Amino acid sequence: MATQFEWREEYNIGISAIDKEHQQLFKIINKLFALKEEEMDSEWLCQEGIKFFKGHILKHFKKEEAYMESIGYDGLEQHIRIHRGFQENTLPALEEELEQTKYSHEAVEHFLGVCTGWLMGHTLTEDLAITGKCVGRWEKLLPEDELEAIKKIITKLVFDMFHLEAQMVSSAYGGEKFGNGVYYRLTYERRQDKKKQEILLVFEEKLLINTVGKAMGLQINKLDSMVINAARYMARQFVGRIMEHFSEMEAYEFKGENLLSYEQFQKVFKREKMRISLLFNTGGAGYFAYCAVASRLPEKGVGISIKPENAMDEVEKYLEKRNVQKEKEEAEHKKKVLIVDDSKMIRHFMNELLRKDYEIGLAESGMGAIRAISLDRPDLVLMDYEMPVCDGSQILKMIRSEKEFADLPVIFLTDRRDPESVKKVMSLKPEGYLLKNLKPEDIKKEIDNFFQ
């Protein structure tokens, strides 16, 4: 089932023209998520959709920058730099991955995940800063020439250590999720004044499996404590090699390390402004991010400090918590129900009855149902049997004629209970039928029972 991103009030920054543009970008991303689920002509569909998204977001950047210039916004230069980074680094890198994999589902998912996370993070920080409601996140980014030097060092190290071609996707990574991640924090301290430096590394789970796991000769498809422990030491070596290239870092000594949950990572990430925040792709092997912040003191209570005497226990606990969180997220994922009825009252009633526990889609006609099913496949269709122009039986035949939707569950909604009508409905072999005049709690119970 396709993912959908819902526009929330918190995304409105209060500038009508910009808010409308952001809403339109969300709609385009949602359509692309739906196209990702298509089996037929998926490459062509995704190509056209991504081309449209790219064109729209570049026009949006120009409009937004023109607005900032018209009000004399102090952060215009930094904002343009972030836009340019997305345009010149992020989009081309993602497009290259799409072309190399012939628009595989995984590559499209990466594209959409990065773009969505970037858009949401940018809207809630840099765009909101235009209004004065918050301070921009990237005021302390290193100069571009220094960032470019670090990028070259990292790409060379990745090739030297893992024989992977790393490509920078973003020079202003906003802490967004990309797949199942491992979040690792290293703390360093300067001898003379005790000033702290924090390095945050984010690894996509599959990257660690594809690099560290394979280097150890392990045939695995999920992380275990051996891979995590090996990754910790390799990460320390990796950071140490980067620090060797900067004379001012020679005075810093390693002080501690933590494995963080995503929530803990976000807490650290948002506490202070990043000086370095780079996101890389490794040609399909996985994503990783390298972030650095000059900090007074690492925040207490965020992650247990890993030491030789507790390392094995803490890594095991970390993996256990990750697994519990993943199971919880899967359990909380709502099933999608499409309600098809020409009666506005029935659509409203069914939506109110089910929306707390299910993701609801609405269609007012048979053809509307076909479009909705094609764009975003539901887990169940509740369809009015008697509709004008194209009734429920005709729509069900159309659905069953498509190989991709032949097994899509459909339950008819009807207000007729006489034996002849019931026989006619059931001869089409739907999953069942529901009488519209049942008590609301009985209708809800039937839907719940179906999914159980």
Q: How many domains does the chain divide into?
A: 3
**Strand pairing of 287-295 and 181-190?**
unpaired
pLDDT, mean of residues 148-173:
86
> 23 is written with which tokens?
């809403």
Task: Tell me what pLDDT residue 287 has.
Answer: 87
Indicate whether 170 and 215 sit together in one domain: yes
Q: How large is the average pLDDT for residues 111-128?
A: 72
Same domain, 17 and 76: yes
In a shared domain, residues 365 and 441: yes
Residue at 376: amino acid letter:
D
pLDDT band at 139 (very low <50, low <70, confident <90, very high): low
Range of the domain at 169: 140-332
> Is pTM, for the whole model, over 0.75?
no
Both 249 and 359 in one domain: the answer is no
The domain boundary residue, chosen from 312, 332, 352: 332
Confidence at residue 15, expressed as pLDDT on a 0 to 100 scale: 86
One domain, residues 303 and 158: yes
Q: 403 with 273, same domain?
A: no
Indicate the average pLDDT of the chain.
79
User: Does the pLDDT value for residue 1 go beyond 50?
Assistant: no
For residue 390, how many C-alpha atoms fall within 13 Å in the half-sphere facing its CB? Answer: 16
Q: State whether 16 and 153 are in the same domain.
A: no
Amino acid at 94: L
407 pLDDT higher than 70: yes
Residues 6+ apart with CB under 8 A from 75: 68, 126, 129, 130, 136, 139
**Domain end among 283, 309, 332:** 332
Nearest by Cα to 412 from 423, 403, 361? 423
10 and 38, same structural domain? yes
Please tell me the distance from the alpha carbon of residue 315 to that of residue 309, in angstroms, as a whole number: 12
The CATH code of the domain that includes 417 is: 3.40.50.2300
Are the C-beta atoms of 167 and 155 separated by less than 8 Å?
Answer: yes
260 compared with 398, residue with greater pLDDT? 260
Structural domain ending residue among the three candidates 90, 115, 136: 136
Closest CA to 205 of 224, 181, 188: 181
Same domain, 160 and 273: yes
Within this chain, do residues 109 and 237 fall inside the same structural domain, yes or no? no
Q: Note the pLDDT tens digit of each residue in 6-43.
A: 666 767 788 888 888 888 887 877 777 666 655 444 56
CA distance 451 to 444: 11
Residue 410 in this model has a pLDDT that exceeds 80: yes
Instruction: Report residue 2's pLDDT band, with 50, 70 and 90 as the boundaries.
Output: very low
- If you average pLDDT over residues 84-90, what whole number do you get? 79
What average pLDDT score do residues 361-379 get?
A: 78
Paired with 253 in beta bridges are 189
Asked whether the beta carbons of 297 and 196 are under 8 A apart, the reply is yes
pLDDT higher than 90, residue 300: no
Average pLDDT of span 416-435: 67
The answer on pLDDT for 136 being more than 60 is no
232-259 pLDDT, tens digit each: 888 888 898 888 887 777 788 888 898 9
Q: Is the domain of 72 the same as that of 87?
A: yes
**What's 325's domain CATH number?**
3.40.1550.10
The count of residues in the chain is 452
What percent of the chain stands above pLDDT 70?
Answer: 81
State whether 257 and 389 are in the same domain. Answer: no
Compute the average pLDDT of residues 55-72. 87
